[in-house]
C-alpha cells in the first residue's frame, strides 16, 4: 500500500454532479436520459449539463471501530476477504459466474443476516480496457469507471429488478448462459409475497480490486446514505435495446458526507448498498429522508457513489481494474 495515501485524513477532489438547474424527481419523466447499446456503451445523452463540484472525501480507514461505516446504516462497508480462488480469471465470463458468484452471495448473506442471497449480474471496469475496447471472454465489453455521482436504483427500478428476476433472463442478461431461456432465478410466488406483504429486500454490490497492485487511479468515493435527502434526487433513464432502466443522479448538497478507502487490495471487498426497501426514503415513497428515523441502526436506502481523481496519486500509477457483482438480498 501507499502509506502516505492510506494515512492521509482526507483528500480534496472534484466530482461530477447533476446540474442544480435540473428538476428534482423521484419518478421517470423523460427529462434526463441516455441510450446504452448491448456492449454497455452510452450515447445520445439528453438533459441538463453535469457540473463539477469540489468536495472533501475523508479516509474511512482511519475511523475508530465504533465509528466505522456499515452497510446497514451508511450504505457501504469494507471487509477483509481473500479470494477463494486466487487464480480466477476475471476476464472470463463463465469463470466469474460459475466460480465467483456463489462466493459473493455467501459473503453478503453472512454480513447482512439475510435468509437468501443470489448474485445475478457483474461488470468489469478499467479505463484502459474501455479505451482499448477490450472484451470479456464470453461477455460484454469492459466498462470504464463511473464518473458521475449516482445511485443504481430508484423507487421504480428497485422493485422492478426484483420482479425481473422472477422471469427468464432476457437476451442480454448475465445469467442467460447458465439459466437458459425458460428458467428464472427467483420464483414468482416468492417475489409476489415480498412485494405484496412489504417484506424487506435489498440489492448489494460486491466491489473488488482485481489487479495485483492496490487501487491508485480512479478510486471510489461513497456518500453516507444518511446525508441524502429526497430533493437531491434526479431520475436518470437508461434506454437499452429491450427495456428502460433507471438510476438516480445527485444534485450537489452541502450535507453530503463523502468517504473512501485508499489503496484497496485484492484481499478486500467493499459492499455498496444499491437499494434497501426498508430504508425510510424507500418506505415513504420519497417523502422522507432516511435520517428522519430515530435510532443508530436505522437502515439507509442506498449510497451515492462515483469514481474520482486522487490528485495525490502520480499519473504513471497503474490503472484501476475492478469487478462489481450485484446480489439480490431477501430477508425473512
Q: How confident is the model at residue 39 (pLDDT cuts 50, 70, 90)?
A: low
Residue 97 in contact with residue 177, Cβ under 8 Å?
yes
Query: Considering the entire predicted model, what is its pTM?
Result: 0.94
Supply the CATH number for residue 312's domain.
2.60.120
**Residue 238's domain spans which residues?**
3-330
Cβ within 8 Å of residue 262, ≥6 positions away? 1, 2, 5, 6, 8, 59, 61, 215, 219, 310
Q: Is 44 left (phi over 0), alpha (psi -120 to 50) or beta?
A: left
Other residues' Cβ atoms within 10 Å of the Cβ of residue 120: 22
Res 24 pLDDT > 60 = yes
What are 239-260's pLDDT values in tens digits? 887 778 899 999 999 999 999 9
| SS3 label, residue 261 | coil
Total of domains in the chain: 1
The share of the chain scoring above pLDDT 70, in percent, equals 96
Amino acid at each position: 500500500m501507499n502509506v502516505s495515501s492510506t494515512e492521509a485524513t482526507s483528500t480534496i477532489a472534484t466530482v461530477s454532479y447533476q446540474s442544480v438547474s435540473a428538476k428534482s424527481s423521484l419518478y421517470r419523466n423523460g427529462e434526463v436520459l441516455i441510450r446504452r447499446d448491448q456492449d454497455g456503451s452510452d450515447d445520445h445523452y439528453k438533459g441538463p449539463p453535469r457540473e463539477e463540484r469540489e468536495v472533501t472525501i475523508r479516509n474511512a480507514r482511519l475511523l475508530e471501530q465504533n465509528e466505522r461505516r456499515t452497510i446497514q446504516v451508511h450504505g457501504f462497508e469494507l471487509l477483509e476477504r481473500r479470494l477463494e480462488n486466487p487464480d480466477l480469471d476475471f476476464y472470463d465470463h463463465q469463470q466469474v459466474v460459475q466460480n465467483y458468484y456463489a462466493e459473493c452471495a455467501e459473503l453478503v448473506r453472512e454480513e447482512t443476516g439475510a435468509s437468501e442471497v443470489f448474485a445475478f449480474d457483474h461488470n468489469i471496469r478499467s479505463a484502459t480496457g474501455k479505451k482499448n475496447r477490450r472484451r470479456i471472454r464470453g461477455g460484454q465489453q469492459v466498462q470504464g469507471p463511473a464518473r458521475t455521482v449516482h445511485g443504481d436504483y430508484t423507487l421504480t427500478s428497485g422493485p422492478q429488478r426484483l420482479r425481473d428476476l422472477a422471469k427468464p433472463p432476457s437476451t442480454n442478461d448475465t445469467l442467460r448462459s447458465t439459466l437458459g431461456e425458460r428458467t428464472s432465478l427467483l420464483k414468482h410466488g416468492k417475489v409476489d409475497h415480498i412485494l405484496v406483504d412489504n417484506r424487506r429486500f435489498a440489492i448489494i454490490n460486491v466491489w473488488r480490486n482485481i489487479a495485483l497492485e492496490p487501487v491508485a487511479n480512479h478510486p471510489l468515493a461513497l456518500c453516507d446514505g444518511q446525508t441524502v435527502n429526497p430533493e437531491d434526487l434526479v431520475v436518470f433513464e437508461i434506454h437499452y435495446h429491450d427495456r428502460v432502466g433507471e438510476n438516480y443522479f445527485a444534485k450537489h448538497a452541502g450535507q453530503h458526507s463523502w468517504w473512501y478507502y485508499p489503496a484497496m487490495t485484492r484481499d478486500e471487498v467493499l459492499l455498496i448498498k444499491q437499494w434497501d426497501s426498508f430504508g425510510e426514503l424507500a418506505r415513504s415513497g420519497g417523502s422522507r429522508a432516511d435520517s428522519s428515523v430515530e435510532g443508530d441502526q436505522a437502515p439507509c436506502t442506498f449510497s451515492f457513489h462515483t469514481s474520482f481523481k486522487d490528485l495525490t496519486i502520480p499519473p504513471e500509477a497503474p490503472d484501476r481494474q475492478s469487478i462489481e457483482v450485484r446480489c439480490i438480498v431477501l430477508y425473512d
